Structure 1
């Protein structure tokens, strides 16, 4: 595609080099190939077993677009640095906001992939995802802030990240599991270690201007590859023999299980849920059957049923 810096000239005095664009094109190629592979892998699964594969497709597609933009020297703006280091005072530096758009989409999905394997209630999963978004937004706002107030955003982001770590490494590991607990612990520890490095790189790059834009691209590229394709494909391999029904992820559509041998079971489960909702609720320890009028009738030896409200 030629030299990206010639086609899209940098807007700041401190900007990425030609070697940085070569590295970014390499990362883009890896992300793109990984996206196609994830799509292929999802198509080899039965329709009721594709949730995690589809999440991986979304993550890798987003990363591919982001790295195409950065390799093209697009999705960036010039921000005056707080610390000029060996440069003239007031020097400007390229800040790639497209990277934060990528993280805004991908980071919550990675958290969701991990927490779906746990028994955490949806409210806790929701708060953890929200805190993940706080980490990304505060990082972006801090990077776009020229004054020392950027460190206030950085500090708030670090505290939000600590909450995410607490939810993943403490609350998640102590919840009920129907899948591989050890696999979850290993995966969350791996992601926590990588994500702990992001604030450090931010402090040395966008924050403190210690590492230049080219070094910034190398560090973030490595971290995104390790927490992107590497993590996702290892995660999918670990979920290869896990029944989605054990995670509470079964679809109510029997067509999702066509050809998988699960259609009858899924259909029966959906029908049972519908009948339970329409005919009434039976107390625990009772057995009920439908009477001629469609109202639940209890087994006399087990106890009375509670009819549904008219």
Structure 2
């Protein structure tokens, strides 16, 4: 009986979700050690998400944009790591280089495409965090995000190609990465420093971390999906450390850096319904006179609501106030 409970308490993911997909088995795949690590990172991502959302609740709604973006990053990553820990979201791909090392010996390798789905969603959000912090113009932000998507897609396609042509996609991805890093360390950094020393400091700390970590991802790709040099368990360690530093740790640094920065200084003039005088006071004034909020100025009779009474004498227009909560539009005497 004790053996039964010990077995039930362990990680059973690989027994439930085996190393067979579409009637094809994979030779080089994660073990329970890799699955355990993925579960641990999943827990870190979930915890970080709850912390970021909790911190957002302490701020006015129009000051929460960076909390929400950062929480979305770790939330998506948590789902991806749940999938990988469960030994799901992968496909077997024949390796270009067959090794004699027992941990990478075999004709095919487990490629987690769910990792790239995660990156396709989260890396643009990471860049938005950084480029909005730097106050970059929207055309630049959109173009950098498109280049980032090219980087992720070429990485995925390269990982799914078994021939040497995968390195062509790898080269395209590296070129895209080089442009992104250049934008971060040069253009965006200069832009952030002009907005103030506190903004510049927040950007440099987070931007430098991101640029450094992202340069390491192609190395991880080269020894994992690309070159089949290290085992899938070691792949879990390599990518896992990078993702924890690039997402929860990055997010903590970013939110800490923004603790005293008003988003308005970054050009983010966000409105909140019950705190924006342009909206709230106008609706309150309208309700005082029985006028529906966001009144279009047109009555049910089709007469424009000008609030002006026409006496029929030129130059003798007097403003009237609606009475008894009824909008009469124009009164003709």
The answer to whether 1:216 aligns with 2:232 is no
Which sections of structure 2, spanning at least 5 residues, go unmatched?
1-9, 21-25, 282-316, 318-333
How many angstroms apart in 1 are the aligned matches of 2:234 and 2:56?
A: 35
How many angstroms apart in 2 are the aligned matches of 1:72 and 1:235?
A: 31
Aligned counterpart, 1:177: 195
How many angstroms apart in 2 are the aligned matches of 1:55 and 1:121?
A: 18
The answer to whether 1:232 aligns with 2:251 is yes
Matches within 5 A, 1:57-68: 57-68=71-82
Q: Secondary structure at the match of 2:210?
A: helix
Shift of 1:267: 6.7
Aligned counterpart, 1:302: none
Aligned counterpart, 2:54: 40
How many angstroms apart in 2 are the aligned matches of 1:195 and 1:227?
A: 8
Work out which of the two has the higher radius of gyration on C-alpha atoms and give 1 or 2: 2
Shift of 1:264: 3.7
Distance of aligned partners of 1:265 and 1:230 in 2 relative to their CA distance in 1, 3 Å threshold: farther
Aligned partner of 1:84 among 83, 95, 98: 98
The answer to whether 1:50 aligns with 2:64 is yes
Aligned partner of 2:30 among 5, 11, 16: 16
Shift of 1:252: 3.6
The answer to whether 1:104 aligns with 2:113 is no
Q: Is the 8 A contact 2:73 2:122 kept in 1?
A: yes
The answer to whether 1:6 aligns with 2:15 is yes
Shift of 1:78: 0.1
| Residues 6-50 of structure 1: per-residue CA shift (max 9 Å, x gap) | 000013100001111111111111111111111111111111110
- The alignment of Structure 1 onto Structure 2 pairs a total of residues equal to 263
Shift of 1:173: 1.7
Aligned counterpart, 1:160: 176
Q: Is the 8 A contact 2:154 2:170 kept in 1?
A: yes
Distance of aligned partners of 1:211 and 1:45 in 2 relative to their CA distance in 1, 3 Å threshold: same
Shift of 1:190: 1.0
CA RMSD after TM alignment: 2.0
Q: Is the 8 A contact 1:117 1:177 kept in 2?
A: no
Structure 1 residue runs of 4+, over 3 Å off?
A: 87-90, 263-268
Shift of 1:265: 7.8
The answer to whether 1:190 aligns with 2:199 is no
Shift of 1:183: 2.2
